[in-house]
Amino acid sequence: MAQASESKTFKSSRKISLDDKDMPMQWYNIVADLPTKPPPPLNPKTREILKPEDLSPIFPDALIEQEASIEAYINIPEEVLEMYSTWRPTPLFR
């Protein structure tokens, strides 16, 4: 029975392709709209609140800023936008 409903859903889906001019320029950050903010991540070694400098040896600064942000929209870095314009993973299906 589950298979029938799954295939029914698949048949009613639509493929959505965007032109370059319609590509999003920002990511949406759900944290901004949560009624209660999630607790800050902890450093696994010290069990204290994780600081940006703890992450900097591993992650680029732009990624750390995104992770710590409580803004609703975050600008997509220019390098990522360039990659999106030349290659994108699978199209969006609705």
Write down the pLDDT at residue 93.
61
| 69 occurs within a structural domain | yes
| 32 occurs within a structural domain | no
Q: How far apart are CA 20 and CA 31, in angstroms?
A: 28
pLDDT tens digits for 49-68?
988 888 999 998 888 888 88
* Number of domains the chain contains: 1
| 70 occurs within a structural domain | yes
Where does 12-70 have alpha helices with state H? 52-55, 61-68
What is the domain range of residue 83?
Answer: 37-88
Altogether, the residues listed in the chain come to a count of 94
Write down the pLDDT at residue 90.
64
Helix (H, G, I), strand (E, B) or coil at 73: strand
| 29 occurs within a structural domain | no
